[in-house]
Amino acid sequence: MAKKDTLKIEYNGNYYGIVVKNNTIVVPFEYDEIIRTFSSGLINVCKNEKWGCLDLEGNVVIPLVYDWIFPFGKDPLDTAGAKRNGKWGIIDRKGTEIIPCVYDEEIVFKHDRAIASTNGKMGMIDKEGNVIIPFEYYYVKPFTRSLELIKVAKNNKCGVIDIFGEIRIPAIYDEICDIRGDFLIVKQDGLCGIINSRGKVFVPNKYVKIEYFVPQEGLSIDEDCQFPQDAPEDVFAVTTGHKWKYIIVNEEIANDPEEYDWTSGLLSHNCFLVKRNHRFGLVRKNGQSVIPIEYSHINLNSEYIVLTKAGRCGLTDWDGNEIVPVCYKDIRILSCKSAILNDDSLSSLYFFDKSITPQVYDSISYLYDNLCKVSRNGKFGIIDEDGNIVIPLIYHYLGCYNYIQKTMPAIKDDKYGVIDINGHEVIPLIYDPIEEQDVNVYWNDNDKSIEFSLRKHIEIVMGSYIAMIMRLKGKWGVINSKGKEIIPFIYDQMDYFDKKLLVKTINKMGVISVDGKQIIPLSFDEVILNYEEGLLLARKNNRWGLMDKNGKEILSFEFDSIEPVLGKIIASKDGKKGVFNKKGKLIVPLEYDDIKAPDFVSGTYSVCKDGQWGVLNKDGKSITQLEYDKINDYGFACGRLAVCRNNKWGFINRKGREVIECIYDEVFLYFEENHCTVKLNGEKITIDIYGNTIG
């Protein structure tokens, strides 16, 4: 038996086959499509629009009689979904239909159950094909909050059946909403009520609407506040019209006369948020008012509440006691000890222990771990939640904090460097400030760098520092983590890629190693790095050439333009285009007016000459004549490519045969799941991959 890792799918220009590394043919070149499923031990193949499976030696295991077969998994007991004559079922590795192909839709099992449909009716089966829910419903779907209960509908009425087939709630309701705990909101004759999963009525159908929770603009909740996901499951907001109130199932609420525009579920401290006339307030479970309904925004914290009114903020506790009056532009709670109070011109660090005097700065912003960046008189520093100075206010700029390295860029006396959280200079502050458009890069010795832009800085967030690109007196160079110069500061431009540096000086560009050794001499007018293909596009004397990342020439400097794409090179010379591979071998001759990027799956090319388009295979051989006015830009989809002749659209297959005649006015959506939307005689219709009208 051939080893899985030696098998290779090949295409001879007409058919697909499989060879091993010594080019011995394992699967003959006679198949229209082959799916790489070697790890499963079976290979999905297609011939004449029918699918089957081969073993790794090329023997037919499952005959080619199916419209489609999903790939098998690695488990020898695995089964796969299969479609035959337009109907779905389940087959095993020998091709035995465990579940016959009689169902309208693909069968997907979850927890040994699958929702299926046949003859337009839905039901549920188990893995042996036994019917659990009879096929008499037009809707069958599990509740998102329950693995056991299934919502069903027939005759425009909804009910509930469990996964064992027991009818829990007969189909008598107009609507059943998702379950919460053991309660369901049901609707009948336009009014809502609440029942449990056995159908027992707890709240009669008398409300226009019942909700678990309705998000509101102007409401924000800190992570440590219990709301709404952890709220009790028996609390609901209800309305008989335009006003809302809250109810608790099985519990009387003490004469709650208030009705609101909105009300939340139960929060911490036995409180509800309520809303009236676009304003928020807080009430107790017994209806007692805690915070009057007069605030445009409320932020809930586990200990405190930030209130906003007329664009100004204040602080209270959960009993409604005022801590900070509503007079500040912004308030951020740091911890149980302190909060940031921002006014129009000044910021204060406020302490909940009122015996401690607030500290006043020009600005305060949260940094991390209850540390704050502060400024006064144009100088920046760091303080902790107790107001202690961690880094003195001596810097003109402090940048974004690196949480892994615990460092941040800093500027002092117009010199740039890096400091740690204790204010020690990790990189001495002697370098030019980094401009926003410049690049500053760290990398590590294990090549596990993750680089990302933080405004004026690009930092490593994994691994240790090895080196760093910096700028000194207008020139770029490289230093190590201790500030020692590795590459002298002589370059006008420097970009890092793949352990190399693309550099520029005196209008010439080249490539050097990270220790300064020359890889590509500085003799080119322009060098562009193509990251996806690992290639260097270079221009010299106004002609383009191509090199690999080590400077080896692939294409000589004789081209008008070069474009690497999907492992191939589209090149232009004297106004004509052709295609080379990454080793510089010519695949498509330089004779076409235009060439589109190769198809991602088949590797085919759409080419144009004298205004007519055709298709070449991946080896540059014609599979169609140059006979089309247009070819779509998106390549093949479901084995079909849209083409246009005489202003009418049709489709060809991967062999170039016109399998759907060019009769359509327009193609809107290219084939997806074997369906495509087209326009014929001014009317939008849906067709399948054979051109049959299906909608």
Decide: helix, strand or coil at residue 269.
Answer: helix
Of 132, 97, 127, 92, nearest to 109 (Cα)?
A: 127
Decide: helix, strand or coil at residue 4.
Answer: helix
Using the CB atoms, write b or e for 282-317: b if 16+ within 10 Å. Answer: bbebeeeebbebebebbbbbeebbbbbeeebbbbbe
Of 408, 410, 452, 455, nearest to 435 (Cα)?
A: 455
* Chain centroid, CA 570 distance in Å: 31
In angstroms, what CA-CA distances link 367 with 112, 192, 324, 382, 615? 50, 48, 23, 9, 58
**Taken in order 145, 151, 156, 157, is the CA torsion positive or negative?**
negative
Decide: helix, strand or coil at residue 40.
Answer: helix
Nearest-angstrom CA–CA distance, 7 and 24: 10
Nearest-angstrom CA–CA distance, 199 and 158: 12
Question: What's the residue count for the chain?
Answer: 695
pTM of the model: 0.48
228 preceded by a cis bond (ω within 30 of 0): yes
pLDDT of residue 226: 40
pLDDT of residue 266: 65
pLDDT of residue 303: 86
pLDDT of residue 251: 57
Domain boundaries, the chain: 1-107, 604-695
pLDDT of residue 222: 46
pLDDT of residue 457: 32
pLDDT of residue 444: 40
Amino acid at 260: Y
Nearest-angstrom CA–CA distance, 642 and 669: 10
N-terminal to C-terminal alpha carbon distance within the chain: 47
Class of the CATH-defined domain 604-695: mainly beta
Nearest-angstrom CA–CA distance, 142 and 639: 35
**Tokens 């699958």 map to which residue?**
114
Amino acid at 519: I
pLDDT along the chain (695 residues), means of 10: 68 86 85 82 91 91 93 79 93 92 89 90 93 95 88 95 95 89 90 92 88 54 43 72 76 53 73 85 84 90 90 93 93 88 89 85 87 92 92 91 80 89 89 57 38 31 54 86 82 82 89 85 89 84 90 93 89 95 92 88 88 92 92 85 93 89 88 84 89 81
In angstroms, what CA-CA distances link 1 with 59, 130, 631? 11, 38, 43
Nearest-angstrom CA–CA distance, 51 and 639: 14
